[in-house]
Every structure is written in structure tokens, then in C-alpha cells.
Amino acid sequence: RIVSISYRPTVSQQKKNVKEKAVRVVKEYDERRNEFLDVAQEFFYSKGYEQTSVQEIIDTIGVAKGTFYHYFASKVELLDALVMRLGAQGVTMLQPLVADPSLRAVEKLARFFEQMNTFETANREFLIEAMRILYRGENALLRVKVQTQSIARLTPLLAQIIHQGIEEGAFT
């Protein structure tokens, strides 16, 4: 939605003292945050994390640098948010499988790991780059956070499959 209109002269117009209207678009918090994540993911996949600058991201979106720092304290925090979002997408992809009453536990377990492998393969280059960054010494806390979140998301799904397998007598 369009919120405000201000006058901002271009360089050539400044010389002529002529002003042009500039439109500032304000978006909901989650919408803008996801926009940053979408653009960052596109750049990280195509160019790599190290070769992507925060400036490129904000230029693509068309916002001020301060807007980026309202959402993320750093480029590493942006990477963290992107890894977390991918993890959530992976869990969302696995939930229907775990909830499928027509599948036996052994088949669910096999498909669970097949789908995880497919997801990791589809995001391979990014995940390799992300792990390279996360395993730097200065990112130890971030790495632990990512690992903890991954375990917290996947454990309940695996627990459901294992519980079903015990009830079926497939797992002892």
C-alpha cells in the first residue's frame, strides 16, 4: 500500500531546481522480511553468500540501508533467518507424510529420509555455503542455534513415526 509521497530531486533536477515525486511503499513486517529473505536466497544461490553484498539486496528491493538493519542486525543474521526458513519449509514438506494414515511406519521412515535427501539435494549449493559460514569459529553460537532448531523441528516428526512403528510391532 502507498503511504506517503515526498519530493526528492534527481541529480539533474537539482541543478535545475525541479522536483519529482517519489513514492514510498510501506509493507507489513512479515511481508518485507520475507522480501529480504527471497532476494537474499536468490543472490546466495546464484552468486554465493560471500559474493553478495547487503547493498545489492537493498538496491534490488529499493529500500534504505536502515530498513535492512531494522530486520537483520547483520548479513550473518540474514543467513541464519534464511536457514531457519528453509528448515521450516522442510518440516512443512514432511508433515503430510508423517500424518498419512495409509502408510506403515517402516515406509514412512524410508520416505522421510528420501524426502530429506531430495530437499537437501535441491538446496545443495546454498546449504554447503551456509554450513561453510556457520562452521567458522566466530559463528559457533549461530551454528548451535541452527542445530538446536533443526533437532527441535525434526524430533517430533521422527517420534511420531517411531511411536507408530512400536504400535505396529515393527520397532522394538
What percent of the chain lies above the pLDDT cut of 90? Answer: 53
d(CA 131, CA 137): 12
Per-residue pLDDT, averaged over 3-25, amounts to 48
Of 22-26, 76-80, 103-107, 118-122, where does mean pLDDT reach its minimum? 22-26
**Residues 106 and 95 sit within 8 Å (Cβ to Cβ):** no
38 CB-near residues (< 8 Å, 6+ apart): none
Of 93-107, 110-124, 140-154, where does mean pLDDT reach its minimum? 140-154
CA atoms within 13 A on the CB side of 78: 29
Per-residue confidence at 165, pLDDT binned at 50, 70, 90?
very high
Residues paired with 21 in a beta bridge: 7
d(CA 45, CA 43): 5
pLDDT tens-digit series, residues 134-154: 888 887 887 888 889 889 999
